[in-house]
Each structure stands twice: as structure tokens, then as C-alpha cells.
Structure 1
Amino acid sequence: MLSRIAESLFWIGRYLERAEDTSRLLDVHVQLLLEDPVIDEESASQALITVMGVGADGETDQASVMRLLGWDPDSPASMVAAFWGARESARRSREIVSTEMWEAINTTWNIIDRGHIRRARPSQACQTIRERCAVISGIADSTMSHDQGWQFLVLGRSLERIDMTARMIEAAAYTADSPHAWVTTLRACGAHHAFIGTYRGADSDREAAEFLLLDRLFPRSLVFSLNRAETALANLDVGERRAGFTGDAVRLIGRARAELEFRPLSDILSDLPGRMTALQRTCSEANDAVAQRYFEGANPVTWHAGVR
């Protein structure tokens, strides 16, 4: 596969996942401010901005947060900027992206470009982005051949999901004194319903952390996403070597998965923020390793949005 096409598909996966996860975070943030009258809006907003790794220049009111993370195309962490990145990546790989998928991406961008997202209520704007990302992902699943290109799409989506989930868990660990910290995190990951069903109504912080970190069946847990990324890398390396690893990305992802999956939960929780920071660093290093191995032949591209 052409490295240009592979790189575009990889970034479609990353950008769509980033837009969806950002919409989830924003939606939960807005709902939390509405439901809890005693919550400190400034502290909650600052925590969200910190999780996303952006500078707010002292602006931490709800309107500023919605602008920075919602619809400001010049803010690299906004869901609109992330979706623009996905559209540009899809445009560069039109020979591989199915017609139905391109139409879904382009339709969503037209909704954004005409200002419908900016003018909508925050919860409705977040729901629209989340639903449109789900529609596009579903169309990709059913209309793309699950070949090498598909593996790059899955790999990009998995790496972004690991990074974003690690950020949310880190934020929950830092605000563990709040009674809403882990429930908020479960909701942001779309995991609250699955968690309640799995643990039959139990709601301790330890069990919530265990679910988001180690559950092998929930698609947004860290272990599930690490396994998915590892599988995608293995499928890209089929037939190359019978022993050992063929690239740094496989080694990095495999080691991170093993450290989570086989380490006692108490050890993980003893320094949860540090381990989540290390996992984000692993995602960055794996991203660089994938780019070096597969995308070196691609034409140089300057990404104007969504880059952290």
C-alpha cells in the first residue's frame, strides 16, 4: 500500500476517535455543571482543559471551554478541528475511502461549516458530533475491505482511544476525593451502563478503575484497546518474521499491555496518575514508530488541526 494512503487512513482513525472522545468529555462536563449545584465551575473547567493538554490563557468559564474544545477551528484540541483533520485525510485517500464513507464525512463537515454545531445547545452539539462519528465508523466497518488499509484505520483509532482514556483516568485519579470523579469518568467513556451491568450495581472507585483499565470485553477499556492495536500491528506484519518483533511499535504496545494485564491492580492504583502519563508517552512513541516504519515515503504534510 502507498505510504500516503496508509498515513491518511491512520489519521482518519485518530481524528474521528479524537472528535468523538472530545464530544463525550464536553457533554459530561456540561451535564455535571447542570446537575451538581455545588461544583466549582472554574476548577472543573480547569481540570478538563488540563486533561486535554491545552492552554486556556486564564479563561476557564464554560463558554471559553466550549470554544476551546468545541468549535474553535484554530484550537488544536477542539472536536471541530479534529473532524476537519479527518476530512482532509479522507480527501487525500479518496481512492481507498468508500463513496458512502466519504459522503458521511463530507455531510458532517457541511453541518459543521454552516455553523449548526456552534449555534446548537452544547449538549446537542456534542451529541451530533458523537453520533456522526459513530455513523462514519459503522459505514467504514461495512463498506471497506478489511485489508491493510483497514488495519491502519483500526490502529489509529486504537492508539487515540488509549491516549484519551488514559487522560480521563488520570484526571479521575487526581480528583479521587470528589464523589463524582469515577462516575463522571465512566460516563465520559460511555462505560457507565456496561459497568453497572458487569458489577451488578456496585459502584466503588476501585471497581470502576478496574473496569476501565482491565476489562477484556468493553471496547473502550485500556486492555481491550491495547489488544486491538497489537492485533492490527500483527496483521500488518504477517509473513515478515516467525520470531521476535518486527518493529518498535509492537514492542511498545505489547509491553504496555502486559504491564497492565499482568500487574496486580493494587500496584497499578498505587501510582495511577504516573502510569497513565507513561501510557500516554507510550502512545506518542508508538505513533512515531509507526510513522517511521510505514509513512516515511509519504509526501510531507503539515497538519493544521488536531495535533497534540
Structure 2
Amino acid sequence: MLSRIADSLFWIGRYIERADGTARMVDTLRLSLIEDPAQNENYTSSMLLGGIMGYDEINPEVGYEEVARQLVFDAANPSAISGSWLAARENARRARETLSTELWEVINTSWHRWNGLGTKAATQQHLGWVRERSALVAGIADVTMSHDDAWNFICLGRSLERADMTARIVATGALDWGPSWGVVLSSCGAQQAMLRTMRGVITDRSAAAFLSLDRRFPRSVLASLEDAERRLMTLAPDNDRVGFSDEGRRILGEMRSRLEYNDPDHVLADLPNQMRQVQDAVTAASEAIGDRYFKSAPVQEWTGEIL
């Protein structure tokens, strides 16, 4: 597979999942403001932008409308929902010959329909629609593409982005200003799964453990890291007798092992720091994957005839 095609497929997975994860983050803020109207909206909003999403320094003047402008409707920002949909569509256009017709159509249609929802306010209609369309893209990719290298690059990007975004959401529940764990569970689509697993008994500790360390819930941090590691093993089976030539897999495996084999109480006692380490590991692994699979010569451009 050409490196440029693999690169586009990887980023399709990341951008679609980023739109979904960002919608969940903003919805967490929206629901927390509804749940506790007495809380300081400006402080909570600025902490989301500056403390969790890492945009700017914490600004006490920022409110929910500014969060919506920067994280939902800014098409020029690939970390915002609009920007993520646009970037996913552009990458899908570049890899058009590799994608199924159905997958291209759902990504293209989603971008155009998103623009028709309006940009006045980030409502439940906007945020719920993004989650539904992201799930639709994942489902159509699953049933209309051969599960070959192209499929694995999409899934690899999705798993890396999911680990990062779930880590950010989990970190909000562990902070003093953060929403309740019930809101965090709902934002991750984990409330019903958690209720069935724990037979109706939910505590802050069990909710944090479920979203960060559970092996069977696909949106948990640990499960996402495991899936990304497994995709790398499929793309390039390891034949090294000593160490790892795949730096991305080594980084992910080290982070996954640190979570999986550590005492859960130790992980949960230092949850914000642990989740920051996950984000750092995802960033480093993504760079290593790019160095291994996506590096190529500069794209040649026509410059005109020299006389």
C-alpha cells in the first residue's frame, strides 16, 4: 500500500473518532452545567479548554458559547468537530479508490449535513448527531471493507484517538470542578454497560476503574490501547528476537502494561496524572507510526517551464 494512502486511512480513523470524542467532551460540560446550575460556568468552561483540551491558558472569561465556537464550529481547526469532519472528508477523498463506495458516501454526506445543522449553539441535537454519525461511519466501514491492511490502518487511528479522548474525559471526573461520574459514564456511552457489569451498584471508584482499566468495554482506555497494539502486530508481525523494531508498538505496550499490571488502587489514586501519561504515550506512538509507515519523498509539484 502506498504510504500516502495508509496515512489518509489512519487519519480518517482518527478524525472521525476525534469528532465523536470532542462531542462527548462538550456534552459532558453541557450536562454538568444542567446538573449543577450553581457552578461557575466560566471557570468550568475555561478548565475544559485550557486544562483538558490544552488549547490556551486558563481564561476565567471563557463561557460555554466560546467552548462551542472553538471545539464545535471552527472548521479551520482540525481538533474541533467541524474541522475533524472536514479533514476526514479530505482524507477520504485522497483515499477514494481504497474506500468502499458506501463509506465514502456516508463521510461525504455527513460533512454536508453537518453544515446544515446551523452554528448558533452546540445543542443536544448537534452533539448527539455527531455521535450517531461517527458510529454509522464505523459500522459501514466494518461491513463494507475487507479486513486487510487498509481496514487496520483505519482501526489503528480510531483506537489511538479513542484512548486519548477517553483519557481526557476520565480526567474530568477526577477533578474537583468536574462533573459527576454518572455524567462522565453517560458521555462515554458506558452507563448501561456499567450497570449490567456492576449489577446496579456504582461508586466513583468503580466508574473510574471501568472507564480506565476494564478489558471488555471497548471505549475504556485500556481496551483502546490493547486494540491499537493488536493492529500494529497485524500490520507488521514482530520477528525480533530481542527488543522491538516497532517503536510505536513498544510505546503502546509499555503504557498498556503500566495500567494493566499496576495495582488498580495506585492507578485510581493518581488518575489525572495517569491519564496525562496516556495522552503523552498516544502522541509519541502516533509520531513513531508516522515515521515508520507514512514517510515519503516530498510531493512533486508543477512549477512551469523554465526558459
TM over 0.5: yes
Q: Give the Cα–Cα distance (whole angstroms) in 1 for the partners of residues 121 and 62 of structure 2.
A: 21
Alignment-derived partner of residue 304 in structure 1: none
Structure 1 segments, 4+ long, off by >4 Å, are 239-244, 298-301
Correspondence 1:16-165 to 2 at 5 A? 16-49=16-49, 50-55=51-56, 58=59, 59-113=61-115, 115-119=116-120, 122-165=123-166
SS at 2:237 equivalent:
coil
**Which secondary structure state, in structure 2, belongs to the residue aligned with residue 71 of structure 1?**
coil
Q: Which amino acid in structure 1 is aligned with residue 38 of structure 2? A: V
Structure 1 residue 241: Cα displacement: 4.4
Q: CA deviation at 1:182?
A: 2.0
Letter in 2 for 1:29: L
My pick for the range that moved more, 127-136 or 41-50, is: 41-50
Tell me the residue number matched to 1:305.
none
1:200 aligns with 2:202: no
Q: Greater CA deviation, 227-236 or 290-299? A: 290-299
Contact persistence 2:68–2:121 (CA under 8 A): no
User: Match of 2:182?
Assistant: 183
Please tell me the residue identity of whatever aligns with 2:71: L
TM-score, normalised with respect to structure 1: 0.90
- Cα distance between partner residues in 2 of 1:167 and 1:189: 11
Contact kept, 8 Å, 1:253 with 1:282, in 2: the verdict is yes
Q: In 2 relative to 1, CA 28–170 (structure 1 residues): closer, same or farther, beyond 3 Å? A: closer
In structure 2, how many angstroms separate the alpha carbons of the residues matched to 1:97 and 1:120?
A: 33
> Separation in 2 of the partners of 1:4 and 1:75?
22
**Deviation of the 1:275 alpha carbon:** 1.6
Superposed displacement of residue 119, structure 1: 4.9
Deviation at 1:220, TM superposition (A): 0.5
Contact 1:18-1:164 within 8 A present in 2 as well: yes
Q: d(CA) in 1 for partners of 2:93 and 2:227?
A: 26
Task: Specify the SS of the correspondent of 1:216.
Answer: coil
Question: Could you tell which deviates more after superposition, 62-71 or 42-51?
Answer: 42-51
Residues in 1 aligned to 2:145 and 2:245: alpha-carbon distance in whole angstroms: 26
TM-score (norm. length: structure 2): 0.91
CA distance in 2, matches of 1:35, 1:281: 31
String of CA shifts for 1:17-71, please: whole Å, max 9, x gaps: 0001111222232232223222221122122213112128845212111111111
Q: Structure 2 CA distance, aligned partners of 1:33 and 1:170?
A: 17
Distance 1:97 1:294 in 2: 19
Residue ranges of structure 1 left out of the alignment (5+ in a row): 302-308
CA distance 1:119–1:289, shift in 2 (3 Å): same
CA deviation after TM superposition for structure 1 residue 154, in Å: 0.7
Moved more, 284-293 or 264-273: 264-273
Please say if residues 71 and 117 of structure 1, whose CA atoms lie closer than 8 Å, have aligned partners that are also in contact.
no
Query: Deviations for 1:72-114, whole angstroms, at most 9, x for unmatched residues?
Result: 213343111111111111011001011111111111111133x
Show the counterpart of 1:174: 175
Aligned-pair distance for 1:13? 0.4
| Conserved? CA contact 2:32–2:180, under 8 Å | no
Name the CA shift for 1:295/1:15 in 2 (closer, same or farther; >3 Å): same
In structure 2, C-alpha distance between the alignment counterparts of 1:168 and 1:217, rounded to whole Å: 18
Further displaced range: 151-160 or 269-278: 269-278
Query: Bigger CA drift: 162-171 or 239-248?
Result: 239-248
Could you tell me how far apart the structure 1 residues matched to 2:230 and 2:298 are? 27
Change (3 A) 1:209 1:91: same
Q: For residues 270 and 23 of structure 1, what CA distance do their matches in structure 2 show?
A: 27
SS, match of residue 222 in structure 2: helix
| Higher RCO by CA contacts (8 Å cutoff, separation 6 or greater) | 1
Count of aligned residue pairs for this structure pair: 298
Contact 2:15 2:85 in 1 (8 A): yes
Tell me if the contact between 1:47 and 1:171 (Cα under 8 Å) persists in the aligned partners: no
Are the equivalent residues in 2 in contact too, given 1:66–1:122 (CA < 8 A)? no
The answer to which of 217-226 and 243-252 deviates more is 243-252
The structural deviation recorded for 1:240 is 4.9
Q: Distance in 2 between matches of 1:74 and 1:201?
A: 43
